[in-house]
Every structure is written in C-alpha cells, then in structure tokens.
Structure 1
Amino acid sequence: MFGTSGIRGPVGSAVTAEVALSVGRALASTGAETVIVGRDARESGRMLRRALVAGVTECGSDVVDVGVEPTPTISRYVGAVGADAGVAITASHNPPEDNGIKLWSPSGQAFDEARTAAIVEAIDAEAFDLADWESVGARTAADDARERHASALKASLSAAGAGSTPASDSSIADLSVVVDLGNGTGRVTADVLDGVGCDVETLNGQRDGGFPGRPSEPTAANCQTACALVGATDADLGIAHDGDADRMLAIDERGRFVSGDALLALFARREAGPGDRVAVPVDTSLAVADALAGRDAEVVYTRVGDVFVAERAAEPDVVFGGEPSGAWIWPDQTLCPDGPLAACTLASLVASEGPLSALVDDLPSYPIRRESVRTDEKAAAMDRVRELAAAEYASSTTLDGVRIDTDEGWFLVRSSGTEPLVRITAEARAEADAESLFEAARSLVDRGIDAANG
C-alpha cells in the first residue's frame, strides 16, 4: 500500500475513498488525537479529504483542515500547532489522474518505516477503535498555515549558511524572478519574494489540478516555456515547482535549466563547514562530494527517497539533505522537503554571491545518464539483477538497489518506490566511460526483465 512517498497511484484503483477512510481510521486508532489535513489542487482530493476526515473523526480524533496548500505548508503546521500527525492528500509531481496520501510527523519528517508499518497493520487487521456517538471527533478549519509558512520563509531570506554571506534586504529586492507554479499550490513562493521587493512574474499561476500549462514534474523538458521566458527577459533566475511545491528546480539568467545535481552541490557548499555532513541518496553525482572536498565536509549516502534523506538529516552531524529530483531539506527548519524555502534560499544565494550561471559554471560537472525502464515485474527483475551483478562484478553496494563502483565511475540500478519502473543511473568523469557504464547497467536490467517475464 505504501511506497517510499506514501500512498500514490491512479484514482479509482490504487487510490480510493475506501483507502482514505481506512488511513484516517488507522491514524486515530494508533494514537493521533489531532490530525492536520490539507490537499493539493487535484479535484479528486475533495473526495479523498472527506473520506479521510470521516475516518479520523469516526475513531474519536479531531481534524484541523488547512485547505488547499503546499505539502511543506501542511507539514510545518503539524509541529507549529502541536498536532500529532499531518496528512497531505497529493500525488506531488505525478500526472492528474493520480492522487495520494502522505503522512507527516510533528518534526516535519514523513512517517518512517516503523510508524508506517503500524498504520498498515491496523488497516490489514481492521483494528479500528470506532467511537460511540458521544466521542466522535470534530473538524475545524484553519486559515493561518500559509501565513506561518510565509513568515518562516521571510526570516530565511536573511540567513546564511556556513559557506556564504547573508544577502541584504536591498540586494534581494534588486532581483527579478520568474516563478513557474505549474498550476500547483506553490504561490507562497511568489508572494514572499514579491513581498520583499523582488520583481516577480508568475507562469502557470492559475491553480488547476489538471495541470493544463505543463506536466506537474519540473523537468528540463517540461519547463521549456519558463526557460525561454527567463532567457528573453532581464530575469535573474527562474523557479519551477511541482504540483504540491515540495520540489524546486531552477533556471539561470541565461535561460538554462539547472540540473538537480548542480543545485544540490550549490546548496551543500552553502550550508556545510568543516566536519559537517550532507545527506544525499546513492544516485547523486560525484560533483556534490567534489564540491565539498575543499570545505573539509563530506556526503553521507542514503536510500533514494526524501523520507530516507530526512531520517539521516535528523542526525546532529548533518546540516543539509537533498535529492537531485528537487527535494531539499534544511533540518534546522523542517525535515519536510520545502520547495518555497529552497526558492528563497536560492534567491538569497544569487543576491549575495552573484549570477546563478557563474555559480553553476564554477562547479565540477561530469557526464551522467539517467533513464527509467517500465516493467510490471520490477521486484522479480531486480532480484535477477542482483544475481547477475554478484556473478559479474567483484563487489557491489546494495543500500538501495545495486550500485557498482569502478575506477572510471559508477552505475546504479534500482526499482522505483512509487511507479512500475526500474531506474538506471550511470556517471563517470569521461563521456565514453559514462556511456560504457550505462550500457553495462542497461544490459543487467534488460536481462533481469527478460528473466522476470519468463
């Protein structure tokens, strides 16, 4: 039922009112007395929210409904008001036919494996503590969640990491920023930047869960219009969010889409000082570790998924965590990936350090290939990939999937936690080596899928 990003899938099959009702019942029955609930702009979220609220209140717990808001706004509100859990009804960057349910702890961290397992156990056993007529919970509405989030974002604009100097209010106000909202819920980014004096132009700003302006995921291919707009104007940078604004990717002042690896290296270099660590997943570019080498800081690897990055970022020696997909975590603020916070931090970095293009061009850059292969037998295919890798390579890392490191570079094969995909990543310091490693990985995957299909 739960993947690495909660429950997510097509509405009417994987994600139904019955599923939402059961999750609500399980939350209340496993000890959550007050639950924050919010959703993204998908129309199916209305139905799912009603079902989930019914489940929570039917088992005697109370719901505070914050309405349609970004996932980080919802997550932050849990701890801010002393609630026991939060629910974001969202499929994040997935297409409009999907929806999902993601659960949040008061720290801002997504439910870990133990707490998720308790929810699943309660649902499987139908171990629900249904309340009698006098003990049914209440639902109340809250209208201050976005204001609280915005206040935290404004405060972050004057903060500086270990490797940078704070931007002044006047330098931030000099910025011109394009914010591509992707028809999602991340308008708080534009509002905060506008409120501190930036010249802000929004793109795809009409909230619409059908995502008519562009697909929800902020990739280079999906953000071509934003890139063209930034490049054709005097904008200093562009910001792109997904549907629930937990992700943020960027465009430099030349109109070039900035890779997630480059942003991860920039943020890591900004935050980390001597002895610090930065949590990154095993599919992260070598460029991030190289960018930290001169600061006497280092990366620590996790499984792929923001929940695993957040778990490691919660430890005291980690000052920042991030994923190349666009999820960024500042543990001193929240353990939820916060796209608006990342946008404000990047704006502050540009205001204090100079053009984004120069910052990116100053980073080490290596050829990296990422590709996904669709299969309905991903578990069986990965079992065969592990067998093949063990037979053909002297050593491998199995923290998440199969990673092979060589003198030239590395490749990783792993199954998606939310989609019927096997993902391949390969990187080396030379193009030919990256291509060779990718082809070796692709061969493992093709043979694994063939074996799984019989």
Structure 2
Amino acid sequence: MDDKILAASSKHPKPVDRVFQYGTAGFRMKANLLDSVVFRVGLVAALRSRKLGGQTIGIMITASHNPPEDNGVKLVDPMGEMLENSWEAYSTDLANAKDEDLLKVYKGLEEKLKVNRETPARVIYARDTRASGPALVRALVDALQATGSEYTDYKLLTTPQLHYLTRCTNTEGTPQSYGEVSEKGYYEKLSEAFVRAMKGKKTVGTVTVDCANGVGGPKLHELVKYLKKGSEGGVDIKIINDDVLKAESLNHECGADFVKTKQRAPPTSKAGNNERCCSLDGDADRIIYYFNDPEHGFRLLDGDKIATLAASFIGDLVREARLSDELKIGVVQTAYANGASTKYVEKSLGLPVACTPTGVKWLHHAATKFDVGVYFEANGHGTVVFSPQALKAFRTKDPESPAQAAALETLRALADLINQTVGDALSDMLLVETILAHKTWTPREWDLTYVDLPNRLVRVEVKNRYLFKTTDAERKLVEPQGLQEQIDALVSKVRDGRSFARASGTEDAVRVYAEAATRGEADDLASKVAGLCRQEGIGS
C-alpha cells in the first residue's frame, strides 16, 4: 500500500507555500488549488473508515454558495453528521504535509490512531454541478484505490442527499435503519412523509423555488415527480434558476446567499404579490423564503423565521400529544439571529434559546441536548433533531382523544420528513409548506409573527481572515486588540443596536452584522463597523 500511495501522490503534488485549513465547511478555495487536498482527503477517509471498523464515510465535493470557480471537499461521519472535531486537525495536517513527508505523516496517523490496515475501508462520494468536479473526483479515486478502499460514486447529489445516503448505508438492516440506500429512497421517504404530515390539509397557490442554477435544480425536478399536486393534498412548485449547463450561472444573481445579502428577489422571479417564494443555495443545504408585500415590498423570511415557525408548530403538537412534561424543546441560534426572533422564542413561545458559534456542527451538537432541538442559522441552514426518547414517545404514547392521536401521527410524519442528519433545503421546504397548510397562513401572516429589527450583513475582503479572533459565541472580538471597544462605542449610539464582526469560515473575508431600530441606523452601523475592519490595514 505504501508504494501505491507514493505513486498516486506524485500525480497530485501540493502547491508550494499554500496553507490549508479544514474549516466549517471542510476545505474550500479556488478549484485549481484543490487537487492535492482532495487526494489527501481520500487518504483521511480511508483512515477514518478503518478506525471505525469499516463503517462507511461520505465525501462531498462542493463549494455551496461560493462562486463557480471555487470548489471544496468535506467528510461526512457514519451517521450523516459532520466530521468529528479531532479529525479536522488530522485532515489539516495531512493536507499541509510536504509531498516528500506525506507517507510519513500518513503512517504516523495510522500508528497514533491504532488503525489496522487489514480492516476494510468503505467510502461513498458525490459532487455538485461545478465544472471542476469531475477532475477532483479523479484525484479522490486515486487515493481510494491506493488505500485499497471500497467506494461508490453517487455522481451528482445535493449535500444533504449524500449525508442521507451515508447514514442509510451504515444503518441498513438495523433497528436504526434510516431509509433505502438510494437516491430514489430519499425521494420516496420525503414524499411519503409529506403525504402523512399534510393529512388532508391543502396548500394554497404555487411556491416559486429558485435553485441557484445548482444541483438543487435537477434534484427538485426529480422530487416533484414523487409529490402530489396542490389540489390533491400536495404542493404546486414552479422551478426557476435551474440551468446547470452554463457553469458561470451558478449562484449568479440568484440563490439563498444573493437574496439574503441583497434583500431582494432574484431578477428572474416573476412571482406575484403575496406569493410564496424560496431560494436554495448551490448545494441545496440552505433555504430562505420571501414574498412581495403590496404595501411594504420585498419581505424576507429567513432562517430565524423558519426556526420560529417550526418551533411554534412542533411545540403545539407536543402539547396536543400531551408530551410536554416528558420532552424538552429548545431553539439553537447563532449571533446572526435577529434580536427580535430571540425575544419571540423566549417570551411568546416560552422556549429556551441556546447561542453557539457559527457553523452547523456547533448548532447541531447543541440541538442534540434537547429532545426536540430546532436549529437554523439566519442564512437558512438548519433542521430539527429528535432524541431517541422523543421518537419512542411519538411511537408508543397511547392517545386518549382523536386530537391527541392526530398530533402524535403528525409528529411521527415530521420525524421522517425532516432530514435529521443535516440542513436540507428540499426537506425544509416541505416542512414549511406543511406548517403553512396546517395553520392556513399566508406568507404575510407568517411574517407578522414578529417584526425583525432592520439588519445588514456586509462582507469585507481581507488578506488573512485568521487575524480576527472572537469569543462569546463569536459575538465579541478579542483580536485585533481594541477593535471591539470601537464597535461597542458605535453600537451604543443607536437604538436597539447590536453589531459584531467575525472571520468567514470559508473565504478570506470578514462578515460584519449590524441591527438597529431603523433601516438607516442599521445600514449606517454596518458601514461604520466594516470601515473599522478596513482601517485595521488588513482589509482591502
């Protein structure tokens, strides 16, 4: 095996003077720098699988909402969760090893982790629609072949589909079986659960779905084949921005990040007033809703609004099922959550809120501390996690009334409809459609549950994002020194002010968030804090 690794590695040399870091979304950068990184991620996957006794590890090649010329790669652990923390460091070490030291570092990890080479290694992988994907897959396959791994190529998938398949593969034939191990199994599980969750309720009108010209387009077209029409108790979906043939159109003036950052609909959207619209991101793990209000114009229903909608609905169901005393429900947010949403969850819904650093792995981990953990980042990435106790209670509770029986039935359906491995735009869309149908709400009624404080997100390009270090769930900067005090001074001058700056987990940029009582104050605060970040002499 050593000779094979050396020979294969020589075809994928590491770029000189590049330092790689496994971050929130794995490795992500310009695609032309990724060849050696993807090869070495293949080596890590083989190690991880063998360490876990031959369980299957997933690898996804995607850069989500980044521009078309970028790409990335990340590892998925056996239950469809993010890679275990300590292995992020091993991945980083291997990615940064000099070519001549690679085998030594690899064997050092093998020794340190007591990995037995005789144990089978099993890996599944997929990619999004980026033009650079096929070449990176070839680098990955070279590593898997060199390490004697068994592997399955699922070709084009959304990121959540790859997470789903990883979990299904590892639970097949066990009491924890998560579903059929196929893309078809994914569509069948979602569509069947949607029918059970809707239970005779009806959606009103059409939902327009912007697929960011990414992999979500063809996959949503496929899912639609399994769904009933709105008149039959399903949902009518109009798909836009589903061009995956023109590589440069990915995320261009469309997608969840565009809508959230620009606070306007994609130019291609022709939806009428008060019509439901939503946007996916490039790999379909994020979703945000929005609509056009005849009086107030564009209205965004972001991850905060989705989280509060889900928490409110599931909270009501748990009460109706008479499980409130047995199950603890909570909402997990990041510093990007709008202050008004936090207040609504705590005061109106009476539920606890936990705040974590940005990054799905932190939110997901905190959500598992609850029996029903609802987490969404404001950017639209999130899901609901149910504890084994909750799932058992949904199955075994004896209903004493038709209303209680109906609530339990809906909870069981939601547990199948929601992709509990990771945020999933397609699954989350069906969840939102289910809840709006049950509540008979228009998007305007949903929007009015609470009024967002005006906010602005500004991206500041920097030469080295690692100079910006934070504490308190990323709400305070500790470095560069003195910068936080200057931000605090600006915040103190506006009503309901809040602002923070943090390094992006995926690119050399600092993201500045600001909110205040009025749009003008929020914009001004964001602009001034962004200016401070530039003044540090680091920004451009």
State if a TM-score over 0.5 links the two structures: yes
* Secondary structure, counterpart of 1:30 in structure 2: helix
Report the equivalent of 1:24: 42
TM-score (norm 2): 0.63
- Please say if residues 158 and 168 of structure 1, whose CA atoms lie closer than 8 Å, have aligned partners that are also in contact: yes
- Give 5+ residue unaligned stretches, structure 2: 1-20, 98-103, 111-115, 119-144, 156-180, 230-234, 317-323, 387-418, 470-476
Pairing 1:205-354 to 2, within 5 Å after superposition: 205-208=242-245, 210-212=247-249, 215=252, 217-218=255-256, 219-220=258-259, 221=262, 223-227=265-269, 229-231=270-272, 236-252=275-291, 256=298, 258-260=300-302, 261-272=304-315, 276-292=329-345, 293-317=347-371, 319-332=373-386, 333-353=419-439, 354=441
- CA 1:192–1:175: 2 relative to 1, 3 Å: farther
Residue type at the aligned position of 2:228 = V
1:116 and 1:200 mapped to 2: Cα distance? 39
* Secondary structure, counterpart of 1:99 in structure 2: strand
- CA 1:231–1:33: 2 relative to 1, 3 Å: farther
- Does the alignment pair 1:423 with 2:466? no
Residue type at the aligned position of 1:177 = V
Which of 74, 83, 101 is equivalent to 1:102? 74
Residue type at the aligned position of 1:240 = S
Query: What is the CA distance between 1:117 and its match in structure 2?
Result: 1.8
- Please say if residues 179 and 190 of structure 1, whose CA atoms lie closer than 8 Å, have aligned partners that are also in contact: no
2:287 and 2:154 mapped to 1: Cα distance? 26
- Does the alignment pair 1:145 with 2:182? yes
Radius of gyration: which is bigger? 2
2:525 and 2:281 mapped to 1: Cα distance? 31
Query: What is the CA distance between 1:28 and its match in structure 2?
Result: 0.8
- Does the alignment pair 1:184 with 2:184? no
- Please say if residues 340 and 451 of structure 2, whose CA atoms lie closer than 8 Å, have aligned partners that are also in contact: yes
Pairing 1:362-381 to 2, within 5 Å after superposition: 362-380=449-467
Which of 353, 356, 369 is equivalent to 2:443? 356
Number of aligned pairs?
388
Report the equivalent of 2:113: none
- CA 1:93–1:213: 2 relative to 1, 3 Å: closer
**What RMSD, in angstroms, separates the aligned Cα atoms of the two structures?**
3.7
Query: What is the CA distance between 1:263 and its match in structure 2?
Result: 3.2
1:294 and 1:267 mapped to 2: Cα distance? 14
* Secondary structure, counterpart of 1:148 in structure 2: helix
Which of 220, 228, 233 is equivalent to 1:196? 228
1:145 and 1:192 mapped to 2: Cα distance? 13
1:8 and 1:203 mapped to 2: Cα distance? 27
- Please say if residues 189 and 343 of structure 1, whose CA atoms lie closer than 8 Å, have aligned partners that are also in contact: no
Query: What is the CA distance between 1:142 and its match in structure 2?
Result: 6.0
Report the equivalent of 2:106: 127
- Give 5+ residue unaligned stretches, structure 1: 36-60, 62-82, 160-165, 396-402
Report the equivalent of 1:80: none
1:372 and 1:180 mapped to 2: Cα distance? 23
- CA 1:225–1:407: 2 relative to 1, 3 Å: closer
Q: Identity of counterpart residues, as a percentage?
A: 20
Query: What is the CA distance between 1:272 and its match in structure 2?
Result: 4.3
* Secondary structure, counterpart of 1:425 in structure 2: strand
- CA 1:432–1:375: 2 relative to 1, 3 Å: same
Does 92-101 or 238-247 show the bigger shift?
238-247
2:198 and 2:492 mapped to 1: Cα distance? 41
Does 323-332 or 92-101 show the bigger shift?
323-332
